[in-house]
């Protein structure tokens, strides 16, 4: 049975959404289908199920005493053992030890075993725990059930499903996302990068986009969500007389977003209160945090003229008025925190501080050490200078990548003040490089753009509309220890063999020449695995002598060749790389006689080591 809809799921750090569009094979190429959002049924209060556009990405593991019996019932499950969505978020404020939050950030955190039951990270003894993969699985399951409850004539598993991931997700995080989808019962899910999806959403809203950009243009997508900041460069090129789009660069994974800004504001208010002698506890800080978010949005709303918004923390207990703590957030505060703290005007040579400071919200996650988004952006555009030419990237004399257009996405960039500051900074950088000002592409509905864009892309894959050519956004390497006499106390020097070139396209495969390895049958073999978003010119088979700062180590990949009956002890194999149609990266060992074994990421052992 053919799918009736394309479904795009934006699996976000703090909020998720589902958009869908009808597949109409008979429609003309310019006749783009309408993209709609599915209202997601979720428990919002005990005993109350409501449809909301967003599903907060929170999971709560209730204990015996948390909710009255039967009050968590969903239309598809009379007695779920856990809560997903709005109620989980609310109840989690009162009892953080049972709340799983930011599962997506954990999914991309190489410092922990992401398949182990580690969340909630600070859960007290006796509370069941989940792995980041399993938490993601439950969000995806919720979407599936919510869909099936509403769209009975088009079962979810028959539809074409796309799930968005940050462009900065590496191969492991992507594979774990795919695994979560598979375990949720999804059939043949496709992953799409969020900044690309945001750009598709822009194209979807501008059918005349071909008149708005031209060959040689370079589009910078800045996506700042609740928890992450993601950069992407898309080049406008020409293929067969038609405008084409190439995704030429993606940024590193930066755990920095709107939640950090709101927390910074809450801290500011809390400091001011403590100067007056009023101390607030962690529970009140939580309330202050969300009040500051609301106050910030009010102050940043261009329609509102207020320069000051009261922020109150109501008294605990039944004494409401008596215990009320009064404070206010001023426009000047928000301006200072945003413009000096998160978006300072910096020269394009200023790089983010590398030093790790104490984590912000959860100790376990590797939050960005430097809160200045503009410095991260400078580094991103500089990195393109350091790499060798790939695709049509416009550069200034200093080598800085110089975008012609910028597209903003994500809740933080709803604020005109932030957009203006980013434009101002970009323009000053471009001016120094001798280029005119950057042109903003106006997207609307930044909250839902990504899921809408994913649904558009689903149609583009079927030939309805333009498709961005991207391929693998990194170069991948397998580590090879040099054949040298070992010296006590020193690890053998490591070289890196290029196995996946940057931009390797979906649906292609590549044999790595010149290298064979002897694998002992019946014994696990392991390869160290590296990635680089910066080195873009290494070709399959190239050997990097010095594994320096440009390569990030990923979990190792392992394979075990089954012992064959004929007793052959060692099999000579070479590598073969496959990028599937859905964008998943696979590494295979191929013997001379054509037998193949797939290498699997070994997420566990890295942590044990």
Partner 1 sequence: MLAFRSFFQLLFHGTLPEAVLTELNLAPRAAGRPAAPATPAPPPVRTADGALQMLAILQRDARLVDFIMEDIAPYSDDQVGAAVRTLHDQCRESLTRYLTLQPVIDGVEGTPTRAPSADPSVVKFIGNVPAGAPSGGTLRHKGWRAVKVDLPAVNPRQDSTVVAPAEIEIE
Identify which of residues 31 and 94 has a Cβ nearer to partner 1 in the complex.
94
Report, in Å, the least distance between residue 278 CB and partner 1.
13
Q: Tell me the per-residue interface mask from 274 to 313 with partner 1, x by CB under 8 A, - otherwise.
A: ---------x--------------------------x-x-
Query: Which residue stretch of 67-75, 202-210, 477-485, 531-539 sits at the interface with partner 1 (rule: CB under 8 A)?
Result: 67-75
* β-strands 308-313, 160-165 pairing: unpaired
Report, in Å, the least distance between residue 69 CB and partner 1.
6
CB 277: neighbour CB atoms within 10 A?
6
Instruction: Tell me, rounded to whole angstroms, the distance of Cα 56 from its chain centroid.
Output: 16
Identify which of residues 52 and 427 has a Cβ nearer to partner 1 in the complex.
52
Report, in Å, the least distance between residue 42 CB and partner 1.
13
Buried b (16+ CB within 10 A) or exposed e, 427-438: eebbebbebeeb
Identify which of residues 324 and 537 has a Cβ nearer to partner 1 in the complex.
324
Number of residues that bind partner 1 (CB under 8 A): 21
Are the C-beta atoms of residues 199 and 231 closer than 8 Å to each other? no
Identify which of residues 6 and 299 has a Cβ nearer to partner 1 in the complex.
299
Report, in Å, the least distance between residue 187 CB and partner 1.
34
- Cβ neighbours for 69, distance < 8 A, ≥ 6 positions apart: none
CB 477: neighbour CB atoms within 10 A?
28
Buried b (16+ CB within 10 A) or exposed e, 386-414: ebeebbebbbbeeebbbbbbbbbbbbbbb
Identify which of residues 33 and 92 has a Cβ nearer to partner 1 in the complex.
92
Report, in Å, the least distance between residue 325 CB and partner 1.
9
Buried b (16+ CB within 10 A) or exposed e, 14-31: bbbbbbbbebeeeeeeee
Identify which of residues 52 and 600 has a Cβ nearer to partner 1 in the complex.
52
Are the C-beta atoms of residues 235 and 246 closer than 8 Å to each other? yes
Identify which of residues 290 and 539 has a Cβ nearer to partner 1 in the complex.
290
In 3D, which of 374, 349, 371, 370 has the Cα closest to residue 220? 374
Angle between helix 416-432 and helix 373-386 axes, rounded to 10 deg = 30
Q: Of these, 36, 39, 49, 424, which contacts partner 1 (CB under 8 A)?
A: 49
Identify which of residues 101 and 284 has a Cβ nearer to partner 1 in the complex.
284
Query: Which residue stretch of 44-52, 142-150, 194-202, 425-433 sits at the interface with partner 1 (rule: CB under 8 A)?
Result: 44-52
Report, in Å, the least distance between residue 23 CB and partner 1.
31
Are the C-beta atoms of residues 101 and 30 closer than 8 Å to each other? no
Kindly write down the DSSP assignment for every residue of 38-75, as one continuous string. PPEEEEEETTEEEEES-EES-EE---TTTS-TTTT-BT
In 3D, which of 51, 91, 94, 99 has the Cα closest to residue 74? 51
Report, in Å, the least distance between residue 194 CB and partner 1.
31
Q: Of these, 31, 47, 518, 604, which contacts partner 1 (CB under 8 A)?
A: 47
- Distance, in Å, from the CA atom of 347 to the CA atom of 429, rounded to the nearest integer, reads 7
Report, in Å, the least distance between residue 324 CB and partner 1.
4
Q: Of these, 3, 24, 53, 71, which contacts partner 1 (CB under 8 A)?
A: 71
User: Which residues ranging from 309 to 368 are in contact with partner 1 (CB under 8 A)?
Assistant: 310, 312, 314-315, 318-322, 324, 326
Report, in Å, the least distance between residue 15 CB and partner 1.
19
Interface residue list for partner 1 (CB under 8 A)? 45-49, 68-71, 283, 310, 312, 314-315, 318-322, 324, 326
């Amino acid at each position: 049975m053919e799918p009736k809809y394309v479904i795009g799921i934006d699996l976000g750090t703090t909020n998720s959404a589902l958009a869908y569009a009808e597949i109409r094979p008979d429609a003309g190429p310019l006749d783009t289908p309408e993209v709609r959002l599915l209202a997601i049924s979720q428990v919002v209060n005990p005993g109350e199920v409501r449809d909301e556009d967003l599903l907060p990405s929170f999971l709560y593991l209730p204990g015996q005493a948390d909710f009255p019996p039967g009050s968590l019932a969903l239309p598809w499950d009379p007695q779920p053992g856990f809560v997903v969505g709005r109620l989980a978020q609310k109840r989690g404020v009162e009892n953080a030890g049972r709340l799983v939050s930011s599962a997506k950030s954990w999914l991309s955190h190489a410092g922990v075993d992401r398949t182990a039951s580690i969340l909630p990270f600070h859960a007290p003894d006796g509370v069941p725990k989940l792995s980041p993969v399993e938490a993601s699985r439950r969000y995806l399951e919720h979407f599936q059930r919510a869909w099936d409850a509403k769209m009975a004539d088009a079962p979810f598993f028959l539809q074409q499903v796309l799930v968005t991931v940050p462009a900065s997700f590496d191969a492991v995080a992507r594979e774990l996302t795919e695994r979560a989808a598979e375990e949720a019962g999804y059939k043949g899910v496709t992953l799409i990068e969020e900044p690309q999806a945001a750009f598709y959403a822009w194209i979807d809203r501008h059918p005349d986009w071909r008149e708005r950009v031209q060959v040689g243009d370079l589009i910078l997508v800045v996506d700042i969500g609740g928890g992450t900041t993601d950069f992407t460069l898309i080049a406008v090129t020409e293929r067969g007389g038609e405008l084409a789009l190439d995704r030429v660069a993606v940024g590193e994974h930066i755990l920095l977003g709107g939640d950090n800004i709101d927390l910074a504001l809450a801290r500011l208010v809390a400091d001011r209160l403590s100067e007056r002698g009023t101390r607030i506890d962690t529970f009140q800080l939580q309330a202050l945090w969300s009040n500051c978010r609301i106050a910030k949005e009010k102050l940043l709303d261009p329609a509102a003229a207020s320069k000051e918004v009261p922020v109150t923390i109501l008294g605990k207990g039944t004494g409401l008025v008596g215990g009320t703590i009064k404070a206010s957030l001023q426009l000047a505060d928000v301006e200072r925190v945003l413009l000096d703290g998160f978006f300072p005007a910096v020269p394009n040579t200023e790089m983010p501080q590398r030093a790790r400071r104490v984590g912000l919200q959860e100790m376990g996650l590797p939050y960005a050490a430097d809160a200045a988004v503009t410095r991260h952006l400078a580094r991103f555009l500089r990195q393109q200078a350091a790499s060798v030419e790939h695709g049509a990237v416009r550069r200034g004399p200093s080598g800085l990548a110089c975008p012609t257009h910028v597209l903003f996405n994500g809740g933080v960039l709803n604020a005109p003040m932030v957009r203006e500051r980013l434009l101002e900074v970009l323009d000053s950088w471009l001016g120094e490089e001798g280029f005119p000002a950057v042109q903003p592409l106006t997207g609307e509905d930044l909250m839902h753009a990504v899921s809408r864009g994913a649904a558009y892309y689903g149609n583009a894959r079927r030939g309805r509309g333009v498709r961005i050519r991207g391929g693998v956004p990194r170069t991948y390497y397998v580590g090879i220890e040099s054949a040298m006499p070992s010296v006590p106390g020193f690890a053998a020097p490591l070289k890196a063999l290029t196995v996946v070139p940057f931009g390797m396209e979906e649906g292609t495969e590549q044999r790595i020449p010149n290298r064979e390895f002897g694998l002992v049958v019946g014994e696990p073999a392991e390869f160290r695995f590296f990635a680089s978003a910066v080195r873009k010119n290494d070709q399959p088979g190239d050997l990097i002598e010095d594994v320096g700062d440009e390569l990030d180590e990923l979990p190792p990949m392992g394979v075990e060749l089954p012992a064959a009956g004929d007793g052959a002890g060692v099999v000579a194999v070479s590598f073969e790389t496959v990028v599937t149609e859905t964008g998943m990266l696979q590494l295979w060992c191929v013997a001379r006689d054509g037998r193949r074994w797939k290498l699997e990421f070994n997420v566990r052992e890295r942590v044990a080591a």
